[in-house]
Structure 1
Amino acid sequence: MSLAPRLDLRQSQSLVMTPQLQQAIKLLALSNLEIETFIAEELEKNPLLEATPGDGERDAAPEPDFDAAAEADFAADHDEAPAPADASDLLTGTAAAADEAALDVDFTAETFHHDSAADSIGGLDGGLGMAGTGGGGSEDGPDFENFGSADISLADHLMAQAGTSVDGADLFIAAHMIDQIDETGYLTVPLLEIANRLNVPLARVEQVLGVIQTFDPTGVGARSLSECLALQAKEADRYDPCMARLLDNLDLLARGELARLKRICGVDDEDLADMIRELRAYDPKPGCRYGGEPVPAIVPDIFVARRGNGWAVEINAATLPRLLVNRAYYVELSTGRQDKGGKAWLSDMLASANWLVKALDQRQRTIIKVASEIVKQQEAFFLHGVAHLKPMTLRQVAEAIEMHESTVSRVTSNKYLSCARGVFELKYFFTSAIQSSEGGDAVSAQAVKSAIRTLIQAEDPKAILSDDTLVELLNAKGFDIARRTVAKYRESMGIGSSVQRRRQKALEGVG
């Protein structure tokens, strides 16, 4: 064998992850709101891109129907080529003839695929009649009463009161203590530490704390739950020796040791019930009324509605501005005098703009295809509820639509579906299987959780169901499930054990 150097030619195929391809794959995992942010950034970088509102008057696309051909995308307006095998193939068909495509895209024509009626009819739900489910406006326009100014923070609320109650050095001490009060209204630092830190007598710190504890909301500045409730009891003029003993023994109340509490407090059943009822009216976290941003409502990415014997599936177009390539501006720039670098930059901007418009269109088609297959396989859920949710995996959907499993995983991440039964994350429909004890079809884990919740909600307070009893009742319903699985599902739903529920029922009976 010769050891001399030589040159060989070899042919091989490999997947090259170009920046555009990597970004296209990333787009699949983004929600509509994240896509909106991404588009805003691209509009700033690329002068050839412009966004147009999605409320133009266009002809509505045909409504999808499950009675159509098996492999058809039942939100499509025309035939499609088979989907690529994995995420890397999502844009292989879009790069061709890019220079031949019109720069100013007419969305009413067939240049791009119309995913659904939302592509032709403006509005949040594209004519599906589901505007109420997505938090959109009404026929008279948006409800501006729902848009409120940001709530004042707890610290600002307390400082405003401190400014009218104390002054001088005491105001400085109060400001430092207010900084140590958490969002629930509790003082989190010992008074001795505050006194040493500010180099002031402990008695003075205690005096300032006493002033803070008179502020609104009642109970703020407390150092423990019992002190917080005691402050509220004093405000309501209900703090007597019996209530004080009860607040000193809240651990007994939590364990449901009512007989022992009666002996400690020196009261009968009626008085104890009245005291517990009084405690329930107090707020254990008074600071939560202030500060913090309101929890934003979930904005669905996909709408599903019943249409005749089938279903209509569409993208929420209200959160997706339409992108166009500004042909007039491109012509104006390309005909002007420019150097070689300017021409290269303009060419790059044009290619980037064309690619992004096509990539976003491909993303919507992929989402519609995946969502349509989910609705098709979980039709029983949309018709009859969670008890009829079927076991389903990413691979099942991927094989049905001839896509890679990773593509389906990206599409179902961080996206929500709105239907007549509520708003659900797409991942919700993918659940593990529980075998039937009667040898029938396997059932979804979500269906089992629903059955467990129903049984516990209907249990007799005098006959709390143990996990073993739940297993027997579930087996009678046809669910072949182990006790440890029942306990795991129960805990995941935030439902306590039989002992905890028995104690809670006893307290509710007393109250």
Structure 2
Amino acid sequence: MALSAKLQMRQSQSLVMTPQLLQSIRLLQYSNVELAAYVAGEVERNPLLAAGAAEPAGDSAVPADMPVPMASHDEAAAGTPITGSENDSATFESGFAGREEAVDRPERADIGRRGEGRIMASEHDFSVEDLAERQPSLNAHARSEVRDALSAGPARKIGEAMVEHLDESGYLRLSCDQLAADLGVTVEDIEPVLATIQSEATPAGLFARDLAECLAIQLRRRNRFDPVIAAVIGNLDLLARRDFAALRRLTGEDEPGLMDILAEIRGLDPKPGHAFDHEGFEAIVPDVIVTEAQDGGWQVELNPEALPRVLVDNDYLRTVRSGGLSDDDRVFIGECQQSANWLVRSLDQRAKTIVKVASEIVRRQDGFLTKGIGGLKPMTLTCVAEAIGMHESTVSRVTATKFIATPRGTFEMRFFFTVAIASANGGDAHSAESVKYRIKLLIDGESQGKVMSDDDIAAILKKEGVDLARRTVAKYREALGIPSSIQRRREMNARRLAS
């Protein structure tokens, strides 16, 4: 069989992800902080780009209750250029301090047009007296305490190294062995330094290595760390479960005495570091603002503070082109112009997509805005994507790390997507979040001698039309951080004896 070379041409089609398309996808899922950093980098690299001040997006508002096709959302959004065109501390809180009372969300607020109630710095003159005194940071305070407790020398250097390993609660989250290995010293050098700082630093409990040690330090400062309290501190898990029978066997103390110890421990501070400012925390800037419209519906607006405004400097482009340019310069300017125009279009498309998704979310969750968490309806990415004519992956990218400011608070977009729980009587399905809220209300309404088990809660919910199994009730209860009925009964008995 003879071999011969042949030249053939074959035509085919395939999907190719261009660099521009890939970057458009990334822009869509960027948070406002990531987007601002990316745009700042592009402005620095591209001489044709200029950062402009954000403009109010009042004309881009979309009434959420209007039964209009999604194309009208594009028209509304295009009215104004939106852009350029398990730890031990948790055991303490849940076991000793009890759960904090839930804060009721406000009823449907009488909110007028957006912007009322805001104070602009340009409209008022502020003096130093108008500014609140800033608390010192934990790092600065801890360094000051180390300098006061230790004299200059190797011991102070060891103490300053410990400061760098404090967490936001004021705990030293590094073992002496590891710290000694990092500093090239022995454990015998570390332990006396740590003991000195713990005994002198204020507030008491700083530089503790765990919750038990933090409480013990505070009790020693009060001269109350006797063997009985030491045994209780060493068995915080029993105290959290209100297992007073086991504590009586361990300590030999009667139940009234244990109630006094519990009351004293309640008065301690489990997180002494929280009294100071912590660097690195940033306030959430919502991407979308929802306000009540004058016609009774809801108005969805983009937050201009979360949208960088980018402009193409056409005057500079004409000036550069009017001069003598080499071939390489012309290629470079052409690439810069193409990149700048693409960025402006991508930012505009990103803003329109966010408005479209947010408007559909608000339209479907009107019950939440008017009634609160009990009015939250089941909603999935698929149903939103089908309603606005987009792919589910696009909706997923839009809702990632994006926030909506509503009259009931600021929430992540993903908060409004909940699974559906079937109705017991064949009616509309219930949202998982609203069912969790109902479980919390039932437990908050318990009284002495009337503590409900998970089976009792499931039976009550079934009468209300929510078909929920007992194990699902237990799962939701644990997700809310609510202890079991046995622990709640012990807590009520402890409160009764302490009162």
Please classify the TM superposition score into its range, dividing by the shorter chain length: 0.7 to 0.9
Could you tell me which amino acid in structure 2 is paired with residue 301 of structure 1? D
The change in CA–CA distance for 1:150 and 1:73 in structure 2 (over 3 A counts) is: farther
Q: Is the 8 A contact 2:64 2:360 kept in 1?
A: no
Question: Residues 477 and 332 from structure 1, CA distance in 2 versus in 1: closer, same or farther, beyond 3 angstroms?
Answer: same
- Pair 1:239–1:6, CA change in 2 (3 A): closer
Worse overlay, 60-69 or 341-350: 60-69
Equivalences for residues 336-355 of structure 1 within 5 A: 336-355=323-342
Match of 1:297 among 266, 275, 283: 283
1:495 aligns with 2:479: no
Q: 1:243, CA displacement in angstroms? A: 4.0
What's 2:34 paired with? 34
Asked if 1 retains the 8 angstrom alpha-carbon contact of 2:171 and 2:209, the reply is no
Q: CA deviation at 1:254?
A: 2.9
CA contact (8 A) 2:143 2:163 kept: no
Q: In the alignment, is the contact (CA less than 8 A) between 2:64 and 2:363 conserved in 1?
A: yes
Residue identity in the other structure for 1:33 = V
> Which residue, 390, 407, 417 being the options, matches 1:430?
417
Instruction: Give unpaired runs (5+ residues) of structure 2.
Output: 86-110
- Output the amino acid matched with 2:6: P
Return the letter of the residue paired with 2:296.
Answer: N
Alignment of 1:118-133 (within 5 A): 127-129=113-115
- In structure 2, C-alpha distance between the alignment counterparts of 1:406 and 1:221, rounded to whole Å: 46
Q: How does 1:212-291 map to 2 (within 5 A)?
A: 212-222=198-208, 225-240=211-226, 242-244=228-230, 246-258=232-244, 261=247, 270-290=256-276
In structure 1, C-alpha distance between the alignment counterparts of 2:315 and 2:414, rounded to whole Å: 43
Q: Report the TM-score, using the length of structure 1 for normalisation.
A: 0.78
Pairwise CA distance, 1:53: 0.8
Query: What's 2:306 paired with?
Result: 319
C-alpha displacement of 1:155: 4.5
Query: Which residue pairs with 1:209 in the alignment?
Result: 195
Q: What letter matches 2:8 in structure 1?
A: L
> Matched residues in 1 for 2:186 and 2:64: separation?
76
Structure 2 partner of 1:91:
none
Whichever residue aligns with residue 31 of structure 1, its letter is: S
Match of 1:99 in 2: none
Whichever structure has more helix as a proportion of its residues is: 2
Question: In structure 2, what is the Cα distance between the partners aligned to 1:32 and 1:242?
Answer: 54
Cα root mean square deviation, aligned = 3.9
Report if aligned partners of 1:392, 1:432 keep a CA contact under 8 Å in 2.
Answer: yes
CA gap 1:225/1:328 in 2 versus in 1, 3 angstroms = closer
Post-superposition shift, 1:20? 0.9
How far residue 441 of structure 1 moved from its aligned partner, in angstroms, is 1.2
Offset of 1:249 from its aligned partner? Answer: 4.8
Q: For 2:187 and 2:32, how far apart are their aligned partners in 1?
A: 55
Contact 2:404/2:412 (CA < 8 Å) preserved in 1?
Answer: yes
Q: Deviations over 1:28-83 (max 9, x none)?
A: 11122222111111100111111111247x9x5285335645204565555x9xxx
The answer on 1:70 being equivalent to 2:68 is yes
Give the equivalent residue in structure 2 for 1:47. Answer: 47
C-alpha deviations, 1:373-424, integer Å up to 9, x for none? Answer: 1111222222222222221121211111111111111111110111111111
Question: Which amino acid is the alignment partner of residue 454 of structure 1?
Answer: L
Equivalent-residue separation in structure 2 for 1:257 and 1:456 (angstroms) = 21
| CA distance in 2: counterparts of 1:267 and 1:73, whole angstroms | 73
TM-score by length of 2: 0.80
For the residues of structure 2 that align with 1:187 and 1:427, how far apart are their CA atoms? 33
Task: Work out the percentage of aligned pairs sharing the same amino acid.
Answer: 40
Contact 1:131-1:137 at 8 Å conserved across structures: no
Aligned partner of residue 396 in structure 2, secondary structure: helix
Q: How many residues align?
A: 465
